Structure formats: C-alpha cells, structure tokens
Structure 1
Amino acid sequence: MIRNDKPIKGKVQLRFSNWKYSAGMRIVLFLALALFFYASLAGKVLPQTYDIKPNTVSEKTIVANQQIQDFVATQKAQDEAALKVAPVYRYAAIKHDQLIEALYDKLELNNADAEMKYDIKVSLYRDLFPSVLGDYTNQALNNARSGGQYSDTFLTEMKSQLESQQYKIPEEALYKLPRLTKEELTAMEPVTKDIVGKLMTDATTDAATARTRVTELVNSSTLTKNTSRELVQEIARFAIMPNKFLDAKGTDEARAQARENTKPVFINKNDVLVHKGEMITDQLYKQLGDLNLLKDKANYGPQLGLVLFCAFLTFGLFMFVRQSELPISTNNAQLLMLVIIFLLTLVTMRIVAIGESLEYSHIGYLAPVSLGSMLIMVLLNSQLAFASSVLISILASIVFNNDADQLFDFRYGLVTLIVCYTAVFALQKASQRSAILKAGVIVSLISALAVTSLILLDNHYTVREVAFSISFAIAGGLLSAVLVIGLLPFFETAFGILSPLKLVELSNPNLPLLRKLLTETPGTYHHSVMVGNLSEAAAEAIGANGLLCRVGSYYHDIGKTKRPHYFIENQMGMENPHDLIDPSLSKSIIVAHARDGVEMLKEYNIPKPIRDIAEQHHGTTLLKFFYHKAKQQNEHPETPVAEADFRYPGPKAQSKEAAIVGIADCVEAAVRSLRNPTIEQIDSMVRKIIKDRLDDAQFNECDLTLKELDTVGKALKETLLGIFHSRIEYPTEPLSAAKPETQS
C-alpha cells in the first residue's frame, strides 16, 4: 500500500503544480467567467419568479418588475363589452332524407353495374359524396334564398358552416362501399334515415357534437353485419349537418368594435400585484403566470437566450486571448486574475445598480466601470484592456438599463466605453501610483463631458438631473482610481505580479537593500546601475520587460554586501584578498553571492521575478580566472582540476530578462576593465561574450532566439558607445586582446 500511495501523491502534486498551463483549467476558468456574466445579468434580464401555489397565503409582496399590459384585466374588460352584444342565431330546416336517398340511389346504381371495375367505383365514390352534398347544399341555399326570409349575410354564413363542417368519408370506408349488395343497401337506408332524423330533431350549431352519438344509435339498431354497421355510421355522419346558424358577420363586427373600444389595462413597474399575507386566488395565480412570475410556469426562453449571450461574450474574449501573443494565452494564473477583475467590476456595478430601485436618477454613472480596464492595463496588457473595455461597456448597458422595451441602454454603454478607453490611454506610461489618481481625475472629467453631451442631446432634462448625473460621473472616475490603488497590492501579492508601479517603487534608492548596497558596496552599486541601463535598453530592443531588467539589475548583486571586499569593484586600491587564499575558496566566495542575494531578497519580501534574476544571471558559467589559477597551482597532475568545480550552481536563465541581465552584467564588467575602450574593442567584446555564453549552452532554458541575441548585442553596443563616448580612442595600431574580468 505504501509503495502505491507515493506515486499517486506525486502525480497529484505534479498536476496541481502544472495548473498554470493546464488546458483543462483554462476551460474551467472561461466557464467560470461565463457563469459570472450570467449571474450578474440574470437579475436584469430574467424576470424574477416565485414558488407559490394557488389558494395559499403569499409570504412575500410581489411587484411587477416592468410595465406590462394586464392581460387578465384587459381580457376581462373586453369580454364584458363583448357579452353586451347578443349573438344572433337562426334555424334553417334542411331535409336530410332527400340527401340520404340520393346517396343510396347512387350507391345501388353503381354497385349493380357489373362492368364497372372495383377501382373505378372506389375512385368514383371518393368524388361522389362531396358532389352529391354540394348539389344538395346549393339546392337548399337556393330554396332559402327564394323564400326571402334570410339575408345574404346569413346565407353566406350558412354556406360557410355547411362546407366547413362537412364530414369526410374515411378512405377505408370507400374501399368497402363497392362490395355492398343491393339487399345490404336496402337494409341500411332506413336505419340511416332514422338515426339522422333523431339527431337532427333538435337545432344544432355543431355537427361534430351530434356525430359523436351516431355509434351509440347504430349499435342499438337492427343491423347485424359489422360492415353494414360501420358504413351506416360513416354515411349518417356525412348526412348530419348544422341547422342553426349564427349571423357571424354582424355579431363579430359588433363584438370586435366593443373590444376595440375597451382600453387596455396596464400594470406599471413596481405596482404591487400581491401583498404579503394575501391569499393567492386562481385569478391572481393566472395573472402571475401570464407575467412569467411563477417558477412552475416560467418561460425558459430568456434563460436560454442569456446563456447564449454570455457564451458569445466569453467566446469572443477566448478567441482574442487565444490569437494574441500575450503571456495570458498560456498562463492560467493571469487568466484567473482576469476573471477576478471582471468579477470585481461586475460586483461593483451590481451594487451601484441597487440605487436604481431607490429611484436615484442616473445613478449608474456612479459605478466605477473603469476599475477593470485600469487593473488590466496596469497588471496585464493594454491590448487586453481595450478588448475588455468593450465587454465591460456591453455589460454596463444591460446592468443599468431601466427601459422594459429594450435590452440595452446605449447611454450607459457609450459612456462606459469612453471612460474605459480614457483610463487605458491615461495609464499608458504610468510609473507611479500617483499616476492612477491622475488618471482617475482625467476619467472623471471625460465622463462628465460625455454624460453632459448625452443629456443635452436628449433635450428632456431638468437642472436637478444634470447636476446629479455630472456629480455621479465625476465621483465614479475618482472611485475607480481609489479602488485600483487599494486593490493593486492584493493582486501583486496574490499573483506575484510585478506591475510597472511596483517596479518603480522597488527602484527607489532609499529602500533598505539599495541603501545597504550603496553605502557598503558603492562599487557594486555603480556597477548595478550601469547594468540596469544596459539591460533595459537591450530588453526594450526585443520587446522584453525593460523595467524589470533595470530593477532586477539593481538587486542582482545584492549578495556581495556580505563580503564586499572580495569583489574587485569594491577594493578601491586595496590589496586583493584572493591573492592570499586558495582558488577553490575564492570560487566559493564568489559563487556564494548569488545564493546569498536570493536569501536576502526573500528576507525583504522582494518579488520572485527579481529573485530569479539574482539567482540566474550567472547561470552555470565558469569562473575562468580561478579555474586556470587552480590548474597552475595543482601539485598533483595525476588528479586534474575538474571544470565543474569552478562553475556557478545555476540554474540557467529561465527568462529573457534573466538572460539579458546576465549578458549585460558580463559586458559591463569586461568593458570596465578596459582603460580606454575603442569602438572596435566594445563591438568585439560584446560579440565574444554573447558567443561564449551561447556556446556554453547558457540560453538553452530560455526562449531567446538567435535573432534576438543579435539585436541584444547591437543595443548593448549602442548603449556602451553612449556611455563611453567621451573616452573612446580611435587607434591606428592593431588592437590587443582585452583581459577577461573574473570577479564581476
């Protein structure tokens, strides 16, 4: 059991440690973002529903969430008006015996014709019944018209009802009719007349109702054959027709006019539908159902629509992140931070939206909508901030919409988009936290102008509305800045983010570690500043984080403060202590400054990216000076000095920034060793150092390309020329080889 548990535990830990780059985790995070979108919009888009039953006491006061027509009350009013118009019915006597006789005569005649084929008879009967009925109906209508007792409108309605309620003989019955004998037809005819006569004695407007009783009467008849019974039922149903007709046109017109004259009844937003403690009657229950306020009768169309809408928003953001070359496209930690930023933005918007129910006009402008854009700009990337601003503006246009007739309120969406874009532009080159507050002031002014323009365009405003709207807009911008300043430390600490603002703060020479470096190792401090200048220029040339390189350079040799005089830049003309000790001990002292630096940085809670630069800037390079010195002093040639014993323990550079700082560190030390460097010497020195590190496989664990290395070399050379331009000589003599720096 013990042997099996350990590998499982190791796999779990490995999977957990790799969550930052897990494809499954990315899917989970995007699904969580879609869920946040749904939860934030559900209250505005989806009608609130209640789990109540009829004939029970309501535990809550239920109000309308929007203005809507009260269909129950409107229908009731229309019905009352229509009921005042009395319907007009008239009886028209129809002699069904004549129709039945005509049908049986045709059947007897055609069935007796032995020369007529069976299929032809079937086809004939398919048209025969409607034809006979049509002739009979026309004759009945002509007789009624000739009598002059019925109006043309009534006769038209009568014809319409006779045709619309005409019974269609089933197809299977048509195939049985040709097989009837004369004797069977003779027995069936009186039974049919008797059944139809009984059913048509009373006036009826619905032939279908009368036809339902045919089966009962047929079963009680004297017919014994099943086929005869079945066909009598069909012929009787065919012969049954309505004999009481509504004067539909006049009645419908009068009722329609009465309905049109009835004004619709509306339920206004926030009108109380049911008071707490009130009994839910059947009528109230139906009304709540019509308003989609009941859970068991809820319309799930809006839910599905909202799911699709949130999916589109999330998919759009997913495709933007996926197609970009930003670190967030592979780093789930940054994606998690983005999800949290969206969550915070939506929560603040929803909190402000509560004020709308308190009838504060245009309180939506108070929402710190630029909060998300500011945080994304400072912590992640400007491109992502612009894309996210579009999503935030869409969400704001829904969250602050109060018009029941539309889904979006373009005013809030437009102002939000303007505000967010303004915030991103204002923070483009922010290097201090005070810049966030300045950006908040700019956002407030632009927001106030945007709100003012929309209010003036509306042309329906009061002084009070203008004052409140502009005040809310100004307060919203300032609130965004305050929240960003307050939340930045949380994100920087929780996610190990080194924002430009944090980096600038860490570069303050008054901080304890940098002051210690300046006062105890002034040579190292000067060296670190020079390395910072070089590495920043090189990093920016290839699109890496130049500010991280500069600040990382300030701290990369902080470990030298433990034994400052063992490093040549701090000896200030004093005797070199390495001349008096064994090379292996010198190696241990030199190598230890990277490890000591990391421990000191941890003690002062310096972020990990800077600690990584301090730990990785030497990689596993060889201390050539002490290695060759050890070889020269080796008194046992049979035991050669191992090169591995005089290498830094590493690790090798894991990032472009760490690799660039390492190159700049070596280049600065090497060029500083030259008394009067020339352009050719600087160029040769830079190329040689980069080539040596490349040949030594120091860049195998970072993603620096050969093209980028060439660009780094050019940037370092140009920066060095700017630094040493006043001391560069242009010799005519051939250049001598420069001595390598061994103790940087």
Structure 2
Amino acid sequence: MGKETQPAEKSFAKRKRQGSFIDKWLWVRDFLAKKMVRERILVFVSFLAIVGILQIDLVPRAIDVKLGEIYIGTEIRAPRTVINTEKTEELMDQAAARAVEENKDKLEYQTISIEAGVEANNRYNRIIGVFEEYRRLMQEQTPEGVSPDPARIRPEFRRALQREEGRFTEVPDETLDLVLTLPATDYERIVRSLRQVYVALETERKIGPQTMEEVRSELGAFVGNERFLVLPQDQPVIRELLTAMIFPNLTRDEAKIRQLQEEARRKVAPVKIEKGQLILSEGDIVTTEHIQILRELALIDNSGNRVLMFFSLGIFTLFLMAICLIYIYFFEKRILKEEQHLYLLALVSVVVLAVAKAFSLLNLDLMAYLVPLSFASIILVFLSEPKLAWVITALLSLMVGVIFDFHLALTVFYFINGTAALYLMLNLNQRKEMIRRGLYLAGINFFTVLTLSFLFGIKRFSSMFLFALVAGFNGILATALANGFLPFFEHLFGLTSPLSLLELANPNMPLLKRLLIEAPGTYHHSILVGNLAEAAADAIGADSLLVRVGAYYHDVGKLRRPYFFVENQITNDNPHENLAPSLSTLIITSHVRDGVELAKSYGVPRVVTDIIEQHHGTDLIRYFYQQASEKVQEEKESVEETDFSYSGPKPQTKEAALVMLADAVEAAARSMGQPSPARLEALVNQILKERLEAGQLDETNLTLRDLDKIKAAFLKVLGGIFHHRIKYPEIVATERKKSNGGNHQPRNNGTKAEQRDA
C-alpha cells in the first residue's frame, strides 16, 4: 500500500511544480503585455547598454609600480592624451617668477607705500629737531648786540643733518645759514609750510630710484601749487630743503604683480602626454615623474577612479536620455503610442555607440572619423520624425566625443555631419537619388574636417588631408549602409519609409495592377480620391505621400466582388436590386475587411492598411438604410442604424480622415448630374458637416481651420475635374458617324441610382 501511494505523491508534486511554473510564466507574460512596462524596461536596458559601452576601457587596468624600483614588464604607453599637470605647473611657476624679476622695478608694478606718510612725519620731526637744537645753540653762542655768525657752527650743523638725511651735503650754505638765523616768526611759517608740502609730496608722487631726479626737477612747480599757500620768498628755501629730504616711497603693487604672474602662467602651453607616447619600458627606474604621469592617466591607484567614472557616466547618460524623453513627451507624444519607434531609437543609438567604441579600441586616429553616425540620422529621418532625428544626432555626437577621449573637435564634426545628412535626405523621392546626396554629404564632411583642423590646431597638412578623406568616405559609407539596412529596419519594426510608399504608388505593383484590370472603375475612382486627398494634405501640412498611397489602396477590398459596386457595373444590371438591403449592406461593408486582408497578403505596410480599415469609420450606408426603413414602415418594425453602418474604427490620423472625406466627396460629385461650382461647394459643405456631426473626425486632431483649408483644396481640384467642355457642332457629329460607317448608335442608359459606399 505504501509503495503504491509513493509514486502518486511524486506525480502530484511534479504536477504541482509544473503548475507553479506555468503560473509564473503566465504572470510574466501578462506583466510584459503592458505597454508601459515594456517601455520602462526598454529605457532601463538602453541606459545600462549605453553606460556599459561608454565605460569600456575608459579607465584601464591598474599597473603595479613602485618608486625607485626597476620596472619589469611590457612597455607602458599612454592610452589617451592627458596634460602633465606637474610639469606644466613647474613651467608656469618658472614663467611667473621670470615675469616678476623682469618687471619688478617698473613703475607700473609699484605703488606708494601706505606707510609713506608716517615715515615722512617721522623724518620731518627728526630734521626739525636738529633745526631747533642748532638755532638754540646759535642764540647761546651769540652775545647780545652782536650779529649771529652761522659760519662758526655750520659744519657741525651740516654733519648733524647729514646723520639724519645723507643728501643734506648738497644743500647750499646760504639755505642752512638762513634756517639758523631766520626770525622766529618767519622760521615758524617756513617749517609749517615745509611739513605740509613734504607729507603731500611723499603720499602723492611716486618716488623711486628711476623717478628721483624727475621729482627733484619738478619741486619748484609742486611747491608753488596754490593749494599749499607758500609765500614766494619761502619757496626757494623749502625747495632746497625738500631736495635733501625726499626719500623713495614705493613698494610692490601686489595686485598687479599677481595679475602679471597669472598672465605669464596662462601663456605657458600645457605639457601634453600624447596618446601612444611611451611612459615606461622594461628596465627603466621608476621616478617621481613616472608616478605622476601614471596617476594622471589613472593607471595606478584607480579603483576609486573607476567607481567615480562609472558614476559620472551614469549621470551623464541619464541627463542625455532625459533630454530625449522630455523632448518626445512634449513635442512628439505620438511616438509614445507607437512603441516600435522607441525600439528603433534604442537599437540605432546603441549600434552607433558600439561601433564608435570598437573603433576607439583600435587606437588609430583615422578610425575616429569613420563612425557612421549619419547612418542613424538617415534611418531616423526616413522611419521616424526629422526633428527627433536631429535631437538624437546631437546627443549621439556628445557621446561619441566622450568615447574618443572627450574630443571636442569630433563632437562638433559629428554634429555637423549628422545634421547635414538629415537635411540632405529630407523629401527624397528616389533610391538612386540617395547615392547622389551621399556624395554631397562626403563633400561636406571633407571640408568640415579641414576647417576644424585649422580651428583646433592640427599643423601638418598631410594629416589634415588624410583625416578629411576618411571623413568624406564616411559620408558615402553611411549612406550606403542606410540604403541597405532601410528595408531590414522597415520589416523588423513595421515602419514605412517614404521610399517604400513611392514604390507602392507605382501602377505596376501587383495589387494596383489587379485593381486596374479587374475593377477599372474603382481604380479610376481611387486615382481621383488620391488627387483630392493629396491637395488637402498639402494645404494642412499632413503627409501628402502617405495620403496619396492610402487613397490608391483604400478600396482594394472591392476586388473580391467588383460588380457589386456601381463604378464597375458596365451594364444597367444592378445586382443589389435583387438583394435585401441588409445583405447588400453586408456586401458593401465587407470590402473594408477584405481590403485589409488583401493588403496584408500583398505585404502592404501597416500605415496603409490602417487607412483602408479607417476610411469609412462607423459611417451609415444611407441608401440601404433608407430602403430598409421604407420596408419596415409597412411592416411596423424598427431598423437599427448600427446594422447598416461600417464597423470602424473611426479615423485615428489626419491622413485617414482626409482619405475618408475625399472618398465621399469624389463619389458624391461623380453622381451629380450637372455639377456647377455652386452645387459642388454645397455638396462639399454638406459632406464635411455630416462627417463632423456624426463624430467621424473626433479621434483626429483636425481643427475647424483645417476643415476650411480642406474644403478649399477639394473645390480647387473638383473645379479642374468637372470643368465645362466645348459642345461639338452637329456637323462634326455627322462626319463622325460617316467615318464609322454609320454603325455608331447612341445609347442612353438613363440614370442609375448610386449606392455610394461612403
């Protein structure tokens, strides 16, 4: 009994595990089925991929070296160009010191000392003290009634002054004698004036070895200045005394000296360690300079550098991705609804960055100009929005510059390259034209690199020319790659380029050819609808090419039952006359579903099948609804409008709405007996009003102003289609009968009730 229950328990446990696994799988599937979840996962994975690509080899592996030891190992070369900060700083210090030494004695780098006034007062007091002492001695040695004789004490007086001021040896004897013998009143007046002039001179005039003689020669004018109020008879004495008393009052102007040093430091060219330069080879003794260079290159002690660099790259990438997502949210919100666009942006960006990183690892300068960034620009112009393509181009240019050692010139080049590719590929209408514009892009790249080489200081012309040639080849290569990969991306992401739309518009396409042969009336109707819709699209700024192609294919579903549609009925036999209105409605409405199925089977892209599916919206088939209503009135029953309406959906875009309106206008105008401008305008007004009031345009972003422009465009085209024709004279008609052998018989089919499928 126990042996029988054991396998049953194992089987139950196995089924339980399988059920648990299935539940988990279903939960994951349901979780990933949410569009918002997939978009967030895409952003996160793209972020990790970009950061991972950027950080590859940006911080190389650490090298184990020790100061003073002999290096053993493979030679070490600089992985990128960096500045030798220690050597550069040393040269800057030398330049600053040399500049100070050369200019320290120049007057412009000197200023009057803030202590000059105090020093002048001190010197004045000491000299006046000597004056007072010897004037008193003179009075003591001169008896009353005897004239003083200064000659007796003049030598001693001069020596005393000379001890205070060495230049008193040059003062004339007459001046010294005058100081000793002046009356007290005159003496006091002179020394007061001397003090005023002396302090002013030392605090206002720059006095140094190079200006001393100049100042002495100008003392007369300075003393005679009106502001000092020195008497004319006192001026010579004061001037002679000042000649001996003045002293240098200059000191270094530290602010100007610092400015001089900074200018000298700025003029020093930084000492660069060029990429590939040999740093250490086997057998070299490791010096302080080696250690410093290796530290600058983050080749030693770089564990912290790795973490910091990874964190910085993460923030940098986050900022750039935020710029892109914010732009999409505010200016291209439609792309958020079309998930495939986001996948395209992520794939193209990651591919370009991966190629750039691979080229950078080759350590060849030429490869830096071969990154096919313009390939991304061209692909995005064709399959996404041109404005968004330009934003992506700018962001990728910044990242490529980071990959190539933060190379600003490369960033500028790739921005110009991508922008030029974007503008050149706009409004392209033939694949062979892409090659010619690729040659234009090559020329732009060539001259851009030459210009940037001059700006960023590449001296050798041979290198400039070689880089420019590689950049020119880049333009041709990127264009060829875009041309080759464009169909692949279209198929992978379900997107459609203008080139594919142009191919679809070719009448020799299988589906259009079938329409021409099997349903010629519908084909002719589609051509006219295309003319109307394209004119309206041009008027409101919609995609006119998509509108025209959508109009060509909008009624391909009528190929299943062409003779049930009035434009393909050659005879007067109308099959709907023998059918119930409900069955006729089913046949008419089925051409939308049949058209979508046919288009998909022929590989028509989704943007066109969407127009096929939406070109009738949920519109009511009024002809059969009215027939059914008349019948049920007799039987006292009711008819639901939904049973005689298209299943939808309503138009979701301007382009689908234009095809809807053009389809209705063309069919109604064709059924009009005698069209005139007034009647056509009334008809267009009525159709636009009906579709607007029925809510068929609610899910598009058409405005009332757009509807006015659409109406004007429709009337202009209709005026060309239904213009007045010249009536041939009867004689011409008679001659025609004769030329046909009299066999031509006019046939009058009468009027036919129009079962419009609008």
- Same fold, TM exceeding 0.5? yes
Aligned to 1:314: 321
- What is aligned with 2:717? 719
Q: Which residue of 2 aligns with 1:39?
A: 52
Q: Hey, what does 2:407 align to over in structure 1?
A: 408
2:389 corresponds to 1:391: no
Q: Which amino acid aligns with 2:408?
A: D
Q: Is the 8 A contact 2:565 2:755 kept in 1?
A: no
Deviations 1:342-365 (A, max 9, x none): 11222232333344x24xx43322
Instruction: Please give the alpha-carbon distance, in whole angstroms, between the structure 2 residues aligned to 1:59 and 1:596.
Output: 75
Contact 1:47/1:65 (8 A) holds in 2: no
**Aligned counterpart, 1:473:** 471
User: Could you tell me how far 1:679 is from its partner in structure 2?
Assistant: 1.6
Distance in structure 2 (CA, Å) of the matches to 1:695 and 1:14: 39
Cα separation, partners in 2 of 1:316 and 1:652, compared to 1, 3 Å: closer
Distance 2:378 2:361 in 1: 24
- Hey, what does 1:742 align to over in structure 2? 756
- The match for 2:368 is 364
Tell me the matched-pair count.
535
Q: Secondary structure at the match of 1:362?
A: helix
Equivalent residue of 1:662, what SS? Answer: helix
Whichever of the two has the greater Rg, that structure is 2
One-letter code of the match for 1:379?
L
**Cα offset for 1:294?**
5.0
Which of residues 496, 500, 505 in structure 2 aligns to 1:502? 500
8 Å Cα contact 2:32-2:38 kept in structure 1:
no
Structure-1 residue corresponding to 2:429:
431
1:363–1:469 contact (8 Å) kept in structure 2: no
For 2:623 and 2:28, locate their aligned partners in 1 and report how far apart those are by CA, in whole Å.
46
Give me the TM-score of the superposition, normalised by structure 2.
0.62
Distance 1:307 1:547, change over 3 A: same
Deviates more, 1:415-424 or 1:29-38: 29-38
Q: Determine the C-alpha separation between the residues in 2 that align with 1:536 and 1:8.
A: 51
Which residue does 2:96 correspond to in 1? Answer: none
For 2:349, which of 337, 342, 353 is the aligned residue? 342
Return the alpha-carbon distance in structure 1 between the equivalents of residues 314 and 618 of structure 2: 54
- Taking a change above 3 Å as real, the CA distance of residues 413 and 581 of structure 1, as seen in their structure-2 partners, is same
Give a deviation string over 1:221-278, Cα, whole Å, max 9, x none. xxxxxxxxxxxxxxxxxxxxxxxxxxxxxxxxxxxxxxxxxxx9998754677899x9
In 2 relative to 1, CA 472–590 (structure 1 residues): closer, same or farther, beyond 3 Å? same
Which residue of structure 1 lines up, in the alignment, with residue 573 of structure 2? 575
Moved more, 539-548 or 288-297: 288-297
Name the SS of the counterpart of 2:672 in structure 1. coil
**Equivalent in the alignment of 1:198:** none
Structure 1 gaps, min length 5 = 75-263, 402-406, 730-737
Query: What pairs up with 1:164-563 in 2 under 5 angstroms?
Result: 269-270=275-276, 292-294=298-300, 297-299=303-305, 300-325=307-332, 327-328=334-335, 331-355=338-362, 357-358=363-364, 361-401=365-405, 407-410=406-409, 412-455=410-453, 461-462=459-460, 464-563=462-561
Instruction: Report what 2:626 is aligned to.
Output: 628
Note closer, same or farther for the CA distance 1:565–1:27 as it changes in structure 2 (3 Å cut). closer
| Residue of structure 1 equivalent to 2:144 | none
| CA distance 1:71–1:535, change in 2 (3 Å) | closer
User: Is the Cα–Cα contact under 8 Å of residues 374 and 418 in structure 2 kept in the other structure?
Assistant: yes
SS of match in other structure, 2:635: coil
CA drift at 1:437:
2.0
Tell me: CA distance 1:461–1:271, structure 2 relative to 1, closer, same or farther (3 Å): closer
Q: Secondary structure at the match of 1:298?
A: helix
Higher mean alpha-carbon deviation, 374-383 vs 462-471, is at: 462-471
Q: TM-score, normalising length from structure 1?
A: 0.63
**Which stretches in structure 2 are left out of the alignment for 5+ residues?**
1-15, 89-269, 728-751
Distance in 2 between the 1:295 and 1:487 partners?
45
**Mean Cα displacement is larger for which, 448-457 or 5-14?**
5-14
Which residue matches 2:674? 676
Distance 1:618 1:68, change over 3 A: closer
CA distance in 1, matches of 2:24, 2:681: 54
Contact 1:536–1:550 under 8 Å retained in 2: yes
Provide closer, same or farther for how the CA distance between residues 635 and 681 of structure 1 changes in structure 2, counting only shifts above 3 A: closer
Q: Is the 8 A contact 1:374 1:427 kept in 2?
A: yes
* CA shift for structure 1 position 526: 0.8
8 Å CA contact retained: 2:566, 2:754: no
Query: Any idea what SS the aligned residue of 2:328 has?
Result: helix
* 8 Å CA contact 2:352, 2:371 repeated in 1: no
The alpha carbon displacement at 1:324 in A equals 1.4
Moved more, 294-303 or 386-395: 294-303
CA apart distance, 1:720: 2.1
Offset of 1:463 from its aligned partner?
5.9
Match of 2:225 in 1: none
Contact 1:678–1:728 (CA under 8 A) maintained in structure 2: no
One of 692, 695, 709 as aligned partner of 1:694: 692
- Please tell me whether the aligned partners of residues 557 and 614 of structure 1 are also in contact (alpha carbons under 8 angstroms): yes
- Alignment partners' CA distance in 1, 2:461 and 2:82: 30
Kindly report the root-mean-square deviation, in angstroms, between the aligned alpha carbons of the 2 structures: 4.3
Secondary structure, counterpart of 2:479 in structure 1: helix
In structure 2, do the counterparts of structure 1 residues 72 and 700 end up closer, same or farther at CA, with 3 Å as the change threshold?
Answer: closer
Q: CA deviation at 1:442?
A: 0.9
1:92-133 deviations in Å (ceiling 9; x for gaps):
xxxxxxxxxxxxxxxxxxxxxxxxxxxxxxxxxxxxxxxxxx
Does the C-alpha gap of structure 1 residues 323 and 296 become closer, same or farther in structure 2, counting only changes over 3 Å?
A: same
Shift of 1:524: 0.5
Cα distance 1:552–1:265, how it changes in 2: closer, same or farther (>3 A)? closer
